Amino acid sequence: MASSSGANTEQPVDARVVRTRNDILGAALDVLIEQGSAAVTHAHLAKMAGYSKATVYKHWPSRADLLRDAFTRLGDMPHHIPTGDLRTDLIRELTTFRTGMDEQRLDRALAVLVDLTTSEPQMIQVRNKLARDGEQIVRELLQPYLRGSRLEAATLMLCGAVLHAALMHGEPPSKRVIAATVDLMLSALDVDQSV
């Protein structure tokens, strides 16, 4: 249980503050994914993360701030460093999304986030940033081959294949389907696939 002393004084961002924020935001994501967004309240998170309600309020005066920061953490997915082989790099990147859907239940978090953009307009920015960051590597990998509407379409097709399976089928695509997705795209790009 963290002390709530000094709750009313400004403090530099030290390791303790970072840990407190991380604990509470981690609890917020867990609650969001397991119990839905309605369960994300200051009182419930204080209990889950083992801090006082005052501490949660101190860091996030409003629930909207709290949700914004929790979703921003979702964007911190590890991306691979490109190897230079387009097929390998695209498969790795789509596999990163797949792992996020499986292990972090990114699918449920994204569904909640989209739902929240209706009632909390500031979530639109959070969603846009998450989409931009998530798509960035795929877009960069495709950029030497495509531009304009074709680059946009190809990015949507690759990222969308993983999202659609996770959200609408309840599980992200298998390794075989991810490989087939990338191979169809490479055929479209007419890239030399011989090893």
Where do contacts with a second copy occur on this chain (CB under 8 A)? 33-34, 36-38, 107-108, 110-112, 114-115, 117-119, 124, 127-128, 130-131, 134, 148-150, 152-154, 156-165, 167-170, 173-174, 176-181, 183-185, 187-188, 190
Q: Provide, rounded to whole angstroms, the least separation between the CB of residue 55 and a second copy.
A: 28
Q: Provide, rounded to whole angstroms, the least separation between the CB of residue 90 and a second copy.
A: 12
- The nearer residue to a second copy, 78 or 148, going by C-beta atoms, is 148
Q: Provide, rounded to whole angstroms, the least separation between the CB of residue 151 and a second copy.
A: 9
Q: Provide, rounded to whole angstroms, the least separation between the CB of residue 100 and a second copy.
A: 13
- The nearer residue to a second copy, 2 or 157, going by C-beta atoms, is 157
- The nearer residue to a second copy, 102 or 115, going by C-beta atoms, is 115
- The nearer residue to a second copy, 6 or 148, going by C-beta atoms, is 148
Q: Which residue has the tokens 């890239």?
A: 191
d(CA 107, CA 170): 9
d(CA 110, CA 165): 13
- The nearer residue to a second copy, 5 or 149, going by C-beta atoms, is 149
Contact 22, 30 (CB under 8 A): no
57 to 31, 41, 95, 155: CA distances (angstroms): 17, 10, 37, 40
Q: Provide, rounded to whole angstroms, the least separation between the CB of residue 137 and a second copy.
A: 15
Please write down the HEC assignment for all residues of 32-76.
HHHHCHHHCCHHHHHHHHCCCHHHHHHHCCCHHHHHHHHHHHHCC
Contact partners, residue 112, CB within 8 Å, separation at least 6: 32, 33, 36, 37
